């Protein structure tokens, strides 16, 4: 059986970095003109750590790898070089041989790799819509089961039985 290309988003799928990030954004009353500066200077090390793992996601990725059904890569938007470095270091603690693709926030994930027939697991429906428009298969990761028009999973390991 041919392995499918599977891309997994990082923020909101592997680690819940979004909740503390948005909380800090609101607490600091960041104005729209200071948004980019906020993200570039954010202390990413405070939220890229094991305290924010979602639903045993690291072990689920191990199970996906063991299934041998997928060519697996992590496809993550980044706001700064520091954020990219910290995400790579974090993932390398657990996975020595996994492809990690940091994507500058200003660029669509669909512009970084071949999307045709590839699977993207992402929590953000906007990314999934773009993915689908480019011929890919979008799966929404959502703890509450809110699909927003896509197949939805609450645990990463669920993808193993879908293909």
What CATH number corresponds to the domain at position 28? 3.40.50.1000
Task: Quote the percentage of the chain above a pLDDT of 90.
Answer: 96
Q: Is the pLDDT of residue 2 over 90?
A: no
pLDDT tens per residue across span 33-89 = 999 999 999 999 999 999 999 999 999 999 999 999 999 999 999 999 999 999 999
- CA dist 22 and 109 (Å) reads 21
pLDDT at position 150 is 96
| pLDDT of 78 | 97
Residue 1 pLDDT more than 90?
no
- Report pLDDT for 101: 98
SS3 43: coil
Whole-structure pTM value: 0.95
The parent domain of residue 116 ranges over 4-162
What's the confidence (pLDDT) of residue 75? 98
pLDDT tens across 117-144, in order?
999 999 999 999 999 999 999 999 999 9
Helix (H) or strand (E) holding 72: strand 70-78
Sheet holding 4-8, edge to edge: 99-104, 70-78, 4-8, 119-122, 137-141, 151-153
Q: What is the mean pLDDT of the chain?
A: 96
Spatial distance between the Cα atoms of 11 and 78, rounded to a whole number of angstroms: 9
Degrees to nearest 5, angle at CA 136 with 157 and 59: 15
What is the reported pLDDT for 154?
A: 96
Q: List the one residue out of 13, 47, 28, 33 whose CA is nearest residue 124.
A: 13
Q: How many domains does the chain have?
A: 1
């Amino acid at each position: 059986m041919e392995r499918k290309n599977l891309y997994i988003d990082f923020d909101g799928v592997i680690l819940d970095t979004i909740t503390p990030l948005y909380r800090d954004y609101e607490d600091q009353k960041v104005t729209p003109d200071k948004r980019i500066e906020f993200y570039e200077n954010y202390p990413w090390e405070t939220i890229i750590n094991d305290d924010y793992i979602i639903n045993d996601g690291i072990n689920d990725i191990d199970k996906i790898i063991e299934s041998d059904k997928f060519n697996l890569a992590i496809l993550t938007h980044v706001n700064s070089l520091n954020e990219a470095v910290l995400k790579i270091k974090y993932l390398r603690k657990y996975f020595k041989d996994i492809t990690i693709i940091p994507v500058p926030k200003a660029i669509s994930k669909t512009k970084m790799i071949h999307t045709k027939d590839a699977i993207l697991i992402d929590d953000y429906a906007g990314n999934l819509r773009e993915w689908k428009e480019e011929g890919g298969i979008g799966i929404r990761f959502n703890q509450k089961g809110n699909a927003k028009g896509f197949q939805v999973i609450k645990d990463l390991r669920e993808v193993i039985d879908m293909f």
